Amino acid sequence: MQNKKILVTGGCGFVGRNLVKLLLKEKNIDIWIVDDLSTGTRPETWLPFLTCSKRLGVNTYQFPDSSNRVMFIKKCFLTLTLKIINKEGYNQLNVMLPRFDEVYHLASIVGGRNVIEKKPLYVGLDLAIDSAFFMWAGEIARPKRILYASSSAAYPVNYQKAGRSRLLREENIQFSKNLGIPDLTYGWSKLTGEFLAKIGVEKYGLSIGIVRPFSGYGEDQEPVYPFPAIALRVAARLSPVRVWGSGKQTRDFIHIQDACEACLAVCRNESKGGAYNIGSGIATSFLDLAKRMIKIEGYEADVVGTLGKPVGVAERICDPKKIKNKFGWKQKISLDEGIRRALSFAKMRLNSGIKPE
């Protein structure tokens, strides 16, 4: 049986490596990863392999007792696609990329709120990444199915003010009507990426599904993000425990495992460019998040805010009914269970010498 061929751009980052792990639970698949490791780590640091062979820039990993393989290309996806578009990439890699059955386009500029607010033009490079991706997909690669990872940042910030927020629904973004202002250059780039996906469906006949993840978290998420950063402080039993801003800002937390399962469902069942929220539909403030962590850890401490730090919008919560009703997806990992996992991993980090900030 010929292996299914899957591409994950940005596959070594937090979302990518968790998605790859989920995909590898299936049989007879070849996963291609393109990642420049600007934030992620090499596959051998998070997956067990039997053998690894390397040929001109492509690492191939073979698994024990399995036909599954992972092909890793350490390269900026934007640079690679531009070279392919200009007919330079194949000679450089000495490999012909296959026609992919599924493509999960996750490659983007990441780094949390600090990067989004302090380096807006750097984040704006996402516009170039997505433009090159959809041109490559529509003009050259023609994959059978595409999952485009957008973001909750694409939603109008006017809907996310303190005391005036609402459950964000997919229909709050309609390109046929007046669009609201999204969240800084990251929001603009993701909103534009969704428009490019729409063109890919209508003009090129591509099969595309779109997801808008809310505040994804997980055990191995980098501690530049709020959830693992707070978990690290609580695991160290600091007192007080600090959160950024007033701590009253709310988010919709969803575990990465649930988010990845949603990505598979949308990629494999949506073809017309429909967008789907990924979230719990429950608002949790950072103050309450820290208090819940402290309670689960089993000690007493105050929670205080930190001035001078980027905090983003006041309230961001989704309505997840669309993906639940259409594909039967549902959240499986509760916030308390996710906290327990994060605290356990945070203690491993502490033991390895990583200190809370």
Cβ neighbours of residue 319 closer than 8 Å, sequence gap 6 or more:
167, 168, 169, 277, 281
| Upstream peptide bond of 240 is cis (omega within 30 degrees of 0) | yes
> Coil, helix or strand for 246?
coil
For the stretch 173-202, pLDDT in tens is 999 988 999 999 999 999 999 999 999 999
C-alpha span between 10 and 192 (Å, rounded): 19
Tens of pLDDT along the chain (357 residues) come to 689 999 999 999 999 999 999 999 999 999 999 999 998 999 999 998 778 888 777 899 998 888 999 999 999 999 989 888 887 655 555 567 899 999 999 999 988 888 999 999 999 999 999 999 999 999 999 999 999 999 999 999 999 998 877 899 999 999 998 899 999 999 999 999 999 999 999 999 999 999 999 999 999 999 999 999 999 999 999 999 999 999 999 999 999 999 999 999 999 999 999 999 999 999 999 999 999 999 999 999 999 999 888 889 999 999 999 999 999 999 999 999 999 999 999 999 999 999 998
For the stretch 25-38, pLDDT in tens is 999 999 999 999 99
For the stretch 279-297, pLDDT in tens is 999 999 999 999 999 999 9
Residue 154 phi/psi, 5-degree rounding, is -75, -15
CB 136 within 8 A of CB 85: yes
pTM, two decimals, is 0.95
C-alpha span between 201 and 80 (Å, rounded): 23
Output the CA–CA distances (angstroms, integers) from residue 322 to 187, 198, 251, in the order listed.
21, 19, 19
Cβ neighbours of residue 222 closer than 8 Å, sequence gap 6 or more:
14, 39, 112, 228
C-alpha span between 271 and 204 (Å, rounded): 12
* Pair of tokens at residue 149: 């990872």
C-alpha span between 90 and 71 (Å, rounded): 15
C-alpha span between 356 and 71 (Å, rounded): 35
Output the CA–CA distances (angstroms, integers) from residue 197 to 25, 86, 130, 206, 279, in the order listed.
28, 22, 9, 8, 22
State the fold for domain 4-217+253-281+317-331: Rossmann fold (3.40.50)
